[in-house]
Amino acid sequence: MNDFKNINKLIIYKNLDPAGILQRTPQGCEFHLYPDYIKTSKLPYFSYCIPNNSPNILISGDNLPPFFAGLLPEGRRLNALISKVKTSSDDLFSLFAAVGTDCIGDIYVGDPLPAKIKEQPKLDEVNFYAYFEALLDPSNSILDNNSLAGVQEKISASMISFPLNIARKNKSYILKLNPKDKNNLIQNELHCLQLAKKCGFTVPKAKIVIDKDGNYGLLIERFDRINQQKLHQEDACQFLNRYPADKYRISINQIADALLHITNAPQLEILNLLCQYAFSYLICNGDLHAKNISLQTLEDGIITLTPLYDLICTAIYSDFRMAIKIDGRDDNIKRKTFITFAERYNISKKAINSAIDTLLERFIRHHECLYLIEMPEKKKNLLNQMISRRVNDLV
């Protein structure tokens, strides 16, 4: 294992270009962009919250700016990384040095200490869950240096050799696994993604894959990669310049305000944001927090909301309220709330009503796939009651 604690300076790349320097200071850290990068950049920003004309960023107390902290994993994967690096949980700089060479989006660390490449196990030779636990084991020198943000148990699919009929060579994938306390989570997510697509949303391609012992994983195509080219992408914590710990404290109102200033067609994006929120309300997704809403820059330079991702029905796990609020509400959200919100951003009542009508019509027609998720009959009856109530809320 490389000694990431003794790395004091990181070269930060944006796509193929060295963009700046991130370095430790006695008080925290400092980030500045290279003058040559600023001169040659085709875009006016390094990130949505760091324009090219931004002064040097000085951070005291924490040793990583919020944008870069948002690229780190969370949950068990973060705890395992802390143990492997042998550092403290607040030494974010060392953690980023360890796994920042392949992040979500187009910003990453130029690898200061290249790790030894280990041969990938083949699909018919690997047990997903044993392999995941091995990656977490502090005594194991294998390090998944793909920094996949989020709490869910997942690994970069590049750590496993998949046959071409499952994973195409010019695509990038994430492999999601069931946590021990939720053995139906990937089935849950797959049904929610399929329902979202039937309701008119763009979603990533996803399929169930099976390991050598018959265990299931969910293989999801990454949408921040197109023919292996990196697209710029940021979640709402990042573009609001907030640390991941704030992901439940940010409101839809704050996200909409940011879309107003960042995106090319703000009214269309805010309308899409409201539809995404309404869909999560209907499927009882209490995990739509600020890190599960993202923007990306497409190849033509257009900044838009990403496809929907990390969709689950949390009512199955007795989590009923929305993760973030809209106009101060996280339950009993009526159509009037959406209309009032939309009109505040110069979105007509006709436009928001039409969008909700279309969503409801499609949802009512297709939502029974949610009952295919394995759950006790009592939970199924409760879910049916909740969905009926929430449909009535939006009628």
Q: pLDDT digit string (tens) for 160-190?
A: 777 756 777 778 889 999 998 898 999 999 9
Mapped onto helix, strand or coil, the DSSP state of residue 214 is coil
List pLDDT tens digits, range 203-213: 999 999 999 99
Q: pTM here?
A: 0.94
Q: What are phi and psi of 96, to 5 degrees?
A: -70, -35
Share of the chain above pLDDT 90, in %: 78
Q: Is the pLDDT of residue 44 over 90?
A: yes
Q: Is the pLDDT of residue 3 over 90?
A: no
Q: State residue 244's pLDDT score.
A: 96
C-alpha closest to that of 25 among 73, 67, 72, 59: 59
- CATH code of the domain made up of 227-394: 1.10.1070.20
- CATH code of the domain made up of 123-221: 3.30.200
Q: Do 123-221 and 227-394 share a fold?
A: no
Strand extents, DSSP E, the chain:
9-14, 17-24, 28-33, 45-47, 50-51, 57-60, 102-103, 107-109, 146-147, 154-156, 173-176, 206-210, 216-221, 225-226, 229-230, 232-235, 294-297, 303-305
The more confidently predicted of residues 159 and 63 is 63
List pLDDT tens digits, range 9-21: 999 999 999 999 9
Tell me how far the alpha carbon of residue 174 is from its chain's centroid: 11
Q: What are the sequence ranges of the domains in the chain?
A: 4-109, 123-221, 227-394
C-alpha closest to that of 265 among 232, 298, 287: 298
Average pLDDT over residues 229-243: 97
Average pLDDT over residues 339-363: 99
List pLDDT tens digits, range 190-203: 999 999 999 999 99
Q: Check if the beta carbon of residue 287 is closer than 8 Å to that of residue 312.
A: yes
Share of the chain above pLDDT 70, in %: 95
3-state secondary structure 133-178: HHHHCCCCCCCCCEECCECCCEEEHHHCECCCCCCCCCCCEEEECC
